[in-house]
């Protein structure tokens, strides 16, 4: 699975959470993981395996298919709901660039800790 697929899975998880009005913390507690790990899964910054996806689907009460449904044409909405609706294309591009830079920093941190 590529990075975009993980982002789409995270987006699918977030959509179900919002539908149920559940928090990331609630889901993290049910899965017995930290909110930080849950946040990484939802943002697509943590690769998820079949076992993890199955556990998440079970807690959310949805099928695994619902969570792994990936659309190549669908735009993946970043988890920036605290910022409100972003309508300017230039702002969206800047946020995507920042997200890319942060991803690079995370990779550098992982390699430096190894």
Per-residue model confidence as pLDDT tens digits over 52-92: 999 999 999 999 999 998 765 444 455 555 556 667 788 87
pLDDT of residue 63: 94
Domain assignment present for residue 105? The answer is yes
Work out how many domains the chain is built from and give that number.
2
Residue range of the domain that includes 99: 86-114
- Residues 52 and 6 placed together within one structural domain of the fold: yes
User: Which one, of 20, 27, 3, 18, lies nearest residue 76 by Cα?
Assistant: 3
- Co-location of 21 and 56 in the same domain: yes
Q: What is the pTM of this model?
A: 0.61
- No. of H helices and E strands in the chain? 6, 0
Q: Which tokens go with 100?
A: 């890319």
Instruction: Indicate whether 19 pLDDT > 50.
Output: yes
């Amino acid at each position: 699975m590529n990075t975009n697929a993980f982002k789409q899975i995270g987006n699918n998880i977030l959509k179900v959470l919002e539908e149920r009005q559940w928090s990331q913390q609630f889901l993290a507690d049910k899965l017995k993981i930290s909110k930080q790990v849950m946040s990484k899964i939802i943002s697509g910054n943590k690769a998820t395996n079949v076992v993890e996806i199955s556990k998440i689907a079970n807690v959310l009460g949805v099928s695994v298919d619902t969570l792994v449904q990936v659309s190549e044409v669908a735009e993946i909405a970043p988890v920036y709901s605290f910022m409100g609706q972003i309508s300017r294309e230039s702002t969206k591009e800047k946020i995507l660039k920042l997200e890319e830079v942060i991803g690079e920093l995370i990779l550098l941190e992982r390699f430096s800790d190894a």
